Amino acid sequence: MQGDGEVLFLGGVGEVAVTLGHDGLSFLPLHPELGSSCLSSIGLLPKLENKIKFSDVYAVELLDEGPVCGPWNTRIVVQGKKNSEMHRFAVHVITRSRKHPSQLVPCEYLFGHKDPETCKSLVEHLSACINNEQDRPKNLMVFVHPLCGKGRGCKNWEMVAPLFDRANVNTKVIITKRAGHAYDTLASISDKELKKFDGVVAVGGDGLFNEILNGLLNSRNKTSYPPTPEGFGYFGSTEKCQGYKNDGLNNSTPTSEAVNVMLPVGSNKSDDHEPLLSTGQSVGLDISSLNQVPSVSFPNDWFRLGIIPSGSTDAIVLSTTGERDAVTSALLIIFGRRIALDIAQVVRWKSSPSAEVLPTVRYAASFAGYGFYGEVIRESENYRWMGPARYDFSGTMVFLKHRSYDAKVAFLENENSHSLAASAENVADEVQSLQSRRKRSRKTICQANCSVCKETSTPGQDSEDEIPNSSQM
C-alpha cells in the first residue's frame, strides 16, 4: 500500500486509511469528527490505538459478507447508511486487562471492504507477517486432566481450544485416563514422534505438569548423578556403583545384570517407608533405555512446556505468569512467550533385594518435600474430592500423628570455605549495622542539632550549617 493507504471500514470507527508497515498495521480515521470508537467506549476494546503491532496479533480471520457497524455515538451517515454490508476480515489481538495488568484479554478489530479480493489479499499478507514471528508453536501435544480442580480441566480446554484453532495451532489432545498416563505416554514416545511437536501443554494442576516433566526428562535429560552417598548398602559391585557415580546419567553403561524395578501403574505399594508421594507412575529409572542415546535430549532451545491452570493451587502458573487465568496462559502459549523455570533433580539411591544399583530419579518444578510435607501430599491424594481443602485436612491429620522423620545431611565442602565464611561474617556485620541504623532512624526525630545529621556531616563542615536545614523540616 502506497501513499495514504487502502481505505477500509473499521467497525466502531468508520472509514480509515490502512497502511502496512514492517512491524504492524497502521490506520488513520478519515472522519475523526464522528467521535471515538463505540467498542472502546463501552470497554469491549482497549483504548483505540492507531497501530496494530504484529507481535500482538495472534490470528487473522477471513469472514463472510455481513454488516460492519459504524460509530454508535454519531448521527452522521457513513456511506449512505449506518450499517453497511461488505466483505469482512477480523484481526485478533491481545491487550492487558485494566483491572489486572497480568491478565491478557483477546480483542478483535473488524475490517470491511466492498472488494472481496482486497480483503483476501490483506488477510494473506497479514498472515504471512504473523508467521514470520519467531518462537510461535505450530504443533502441540495437550494433556487434559478431567478430574483436576473439581472437573475444571475439560471445561477450561473447551474454553481455550477455539483460540488455538483460530491461531492455526495444531493440537493433539489426550484426555488422561489414570494416574501416570501422561508420564507413560511421554516416556515411551519415540524421538521421531516427539520431534513433530513444538511442546507439550498440561491442562491441569501442578501434579500433571510434574508428571509430564518427569516423563520427558527421565530418559532424555543430559545431566550427571550427584556423588554417591557413602555408607549405602548396595547389592551390586563397587565397580558398578563407581561407574554410575563417575559416568553420570547419560554416559553410564549399565551391565546386563541391572534389573528395572517399575511399580505397576495405579499401584500405591512401595517398599520404602519414607513419606514420598506415590503417583501411579513408574518411579524406577528405566536404566536399560540408556543403552540407546536419544536424539532428543534436554535442555534444548526449541521444545517448550506449557500449563493452562485448572488445578487446586496452580503454584507454577502463579509464579510464572502472575495470573491464574486459563485464557491468559493459552494466549501466552500461542505467542510462544517463554520464561526460564528452575528444575530440581532428586536422586534417591535405594536398596532392594531383587535389584542391584537402582537410583530413582525425580524432577520437581515447584516443590519437593520430605517428611511432614511429603506425607501431607501423599495423604491428600485420598481426598481429591475435597478440592483445595484437602491440604488443610490432610495436614491436620498428619500433624496429629506426631511422627518424626529421620534424615542425614551431607555436603561437599568448598575449598574456599574459610574465605567464604569470613565473607559471610563481614556481610552479617554489615547487615547488623544497617539494621541498627534503621531502627535508630525510626526512633529518632530529625530536628535542630539532630544526632543523625551530626554523624553524617562531612569532615570540615560546620555542624551548625545543618541547623537551619533541619529546622525547616
| Number of structural domains the chain divides into | 4
Domain co-membership, 307 together with 322: yes
* CB-based contacts of 417, cutoff 8 Å, min separation 6: none
431 found inside a domain = yes
Q: Nearest-CA neighbor of 137 among 174, 163, 110?
A: 163
Q: Which of 198, 206, 314, 325 is catalytic?
A: 206
Which residue do the cell numbers 551530626 mark? 454
Domain co-membership, 381 together with 425: no
Using CA of residue 413, residue 418, residue 420, residue 424, what is the dihedral sign? positive
438 found inside a domain = yes
Give the cell for residue 337: 512467550
Contact yes or no for 9/86 (Cβ under 8 A) = yes
Domain co-membership, 374 together with 357: no
Domain co-membership, 225 together with 241: yes
Domain co-membership, 266 together with 152: yes
Task: Give the pLDDT of residue 421.
Answer: 62
Q: How many CB atoms lie within 10 A of CB 341?
A: 13
Q: Strand 344-350 and strand 199-204: pairing? A: unpaired
Domain co-membership, 126 together with 198: no
53 found inside a domain = yes
**By three-state DSSP, how is residue 70 classified?**
coil
1 found inside a domain = no
Domain co-membership, 349 together with 295: yes
The tally of CA atoms less than 13 A away on the side-chain side of residue 15 is: 15
Euclidean distance between CA atoms 263 and 182, whole angstroms = 16
| Cis-peptide into 468, omega within 30 deg | no
Residue 425's φ and ψ, nearest 5 degrees, are -65, -40
Contact yes or no for 84/78 (Cβ under 8 A) = yes
Domain co-membership, 149 together with 100: no
> Is this prediction's pTM over 0.75?
no
Task: Give the pLDDT of residue 148.
Answer: 87
Domain co-membership, 265 together with 206: yes
Task: Give the pLDDT of residue 390.
Answer: 85
Task: Give the pLDDT of residue 291.
Answer: 44
411 found inside a domain = no
Task: Provide the phi-psi class of 284: left if phi over 0, else alpha when psi is between -120 and 50, else beta.
Answer: beta
245 found inside a domain = yes
Give the cell for residue 293: 542415546
CATH of the domain at 160: 3.40.50.10330
Q: Strand 199-204 and strand 57-69: pairing? A: unpaired
> Where in 164-273 does DSSP place strands (E)?
170-175, 199-204
Euclidean distance between CA atoms 158 and 419, whole angstroms = 58
Euclidean distance between CA atoms 271 and 280, whole angstroms = 14
CATH of the domain at 105: 2.30.29.30
Q: In one letter, which amino acid is 368?
A: A
247 tagged catalytic: no
Euclidean distance between CA atoms 434 and 401, whole angstroms = 43
Domain extent, residue 169, equals 139-366
Contact yes or no for 59/94 (Cβ under 8 A) = no
Strand order through the sheet with 51-53: 51-53, 24-29, 14-20, 6-10, 104-113, 83-96, 57-69
Domain co-membership, 261 together with 329: yes
412 found inside a domain = no
Domain co-membership, 275 together with 149: yes
Choose the final residue of a domain: 131, 148, 176.
131
Q: In one letter, which amino acid is 153?
A: G
Domain co-membership, 127 together with 216: no
Q: Which residues pair with 111 in a beta bridge?
A: 10, 89
Choose the final residue of a domain: 110, 131, 152.
131
270 found inside a domain = yes
Choose the final residue of a domain: 131, 157, 178.
131
Which parts of 206-321 fold into alpha helices (H)? 206-217, 238-251, 315-320
Give me the average pLDDT of each 10-residue run along the chain (473 residues).
71 88 89 54 52 93 86 47 75 91 92 92 92 90 91 94 96 94 94 93 94 91 74 47 42 30 30 37 43 64 92 90 94 93 83 61 86 87 82 91 85 66 67 64 59 59 41 37
